[in-house]
Structure formats: structure tokens, C-alpha cells
Amino acid sequence: MLRKTTLIMLLVALAAGSVALAGEEKTPEEIGQAALAAWMEMASPGEHHKHIARMEGFWEVKATFWFAPGMEPQVTKGMSTNILILGKRYLETKYASEVNGMPFAGRGTLGYDRIAGEYVDTWIDNMGTGVLIMRGTCSDDGKTITLHGQHMDPATKETIKARSVTTFDEHGNYLIEMWNLMPDGSEFKSMELAYTRK
């Protein structure tokens, strides 16, 4: 409890300093109230968190992977459990399937940073030791979320830029597609995950 109170006081103090620099001279009480109000506003879930909430639940996943341009895709079935956490601010994903006949398990988080004004997605799995971080925006109608990030190619150890697009359909299901940016500037589709609610 003490740590939580200390953290809140620190955030309020930082926000108060920002408010003081941004406006006219105000009393310490006015600055503190304005800072607390701004912090509370940015800490509360907003409209974009409603888009994320549509992904909560238990899902069957048809996963299609392309490991290199021109290769035949590998198709497998998976299961995903998506739970809203921390006051419905973030979506936590637990995914399980098989890839190349081996168990595949992954964990992800998706949130919307109201201060930065962008979606932030993280992903880890048992096929690597890195953390994929992607950031982006959604369409005006909230039906498409587009994220951009980068990861390392395990063979060449070069950085690969990636683009992910999540599309929601009228039945409440959704599709995640990912493309890698190739050295010649073209895009190569590497993954497609079709989520159907159980």
C-alpha cells in the first residue's frame, strides 16, 4: 500500500510540474488539482479500450505461417485465451498451438496509451528469447488496427521491419495478418491468424 501511495504521489508531482510550466501562475493547490485531474483522465480507459475489449474471450485460431517467400504455407490450429486485466486497460493473450510438430506457446499484451495516442502490443513466445514490440493506430470506424514494429532475423541477425493488421468482422471474429518488409522494399506475408469465438 505504501509503494502504491508513493507512486501516485510521484506521478501527481510530475504532472504538477508539467502543468506549472504549461500555464499562467497558479496557486500550488490549483496546480495540484489540475495535475491530478489530468493524470486521472489519462489513466482511465477510453474509446480505444472498447475496441480492444472485443478481443476478450476464448478463441479457436487457424494459424497460417509462411517461413520464406515462395514456400508453401504451414497451417495449424491453435487456442487463445484473451483476458482484460488491470481495470480493463490491457488485453492479456495466452496462445497455444503446434509449429513444425513442436509445441508453440506465446504471451501477448495489447493496450492503448492515451498519453502517446497509440496502441502498443508486446509478444513473447517459446520459439525465441526476444520481445516483439509494435505500435500503431486504428481506423476511424475502429474495425482495423495497424501496428508497426521490428524484429531480428535469427539467421542473418539483421533487423526486419514488420507490419501487423487486425481486422474485425461483423460476426465478432477477427483476423491478424503480418507482413515483413524485404530488403528490396517489397512486403512478404509471414503470418495469418483467423480467430473464431468458441
Statement: residue 6 has pLDDT above 50: no
Q: How confident is the model at residue 27, as a pLDDT?
A: 83
Cβ atoms of 54 and 172 closer than 8 Å: yes
Q: How confident is the model at residue 33, as a pLDDT?
A: 74
**Which is more confidently placed, 15 or 151?**
151
**For the residues 110-120, what does the mean pLDDT come to?**
97
Tell me the average pLDDT of the chain.
Answer: 87
Sheet strands (E) in 100-183? 102-113, 118-125, 132-138, 144-152, 159-168, 174-181
Cβ atoms of 103 and 125 closer than 8 Å: no
Distances, alpha carbon 8 to alpha carbons 19, 22, 40, 45, 107, in Å: 16, 21, 10, 17, 28
**For the residues 97-116, what does the mean pLDDT come to?**
95
Could you tell me which residues come within 8 angstroms of residue 138 by beta carbon, excluding any fewer than 6 positions away? Answer: 48, 51, 119, 144, 145, 146
Statement: residue 145 has pLDDT above 60: yes
DSSP β-ladder status, 174-181 and 74-85: unpaired
**Which is more confidently placed, 147 or 8?**
147
Statement: residue 37 has pLDDT above 90: no
Q: How confident is the model at residue 38, as a pLDDT?
A: 67
Statement: residue 13 has pLDDT above 90: no
**Which is more confidently placed, 194 or 27?**
194
**Using CA of residue 127, residue 66, residue 107, residue 39, what is the dihedral sign?**
positive
Phi, then psi, of 173 in degrees rounded to 5: -95, 170
Q: How confident is the model at residue 122, as a pLDDT?
A: 98
pLDDT in tens, 118-143: 999 999 999 999 999 999 999 999 99
pLDDT in tens, 49-105: 999 999 999 999 999 999 888 899 999 999 999 999 999 999 999 999 998 889 999
CATH fold for the domain made of 48-197? Lipocalin (2.40.128)
Q: How confident is the model at residue 99, as a pLDDT?
A: 86
Statement: residue 4 has pLDDT above 60: no
Task: Write out the residue limits of the CATH 2.40.128.20 domain(s) in the chain.
Answer: 48-197
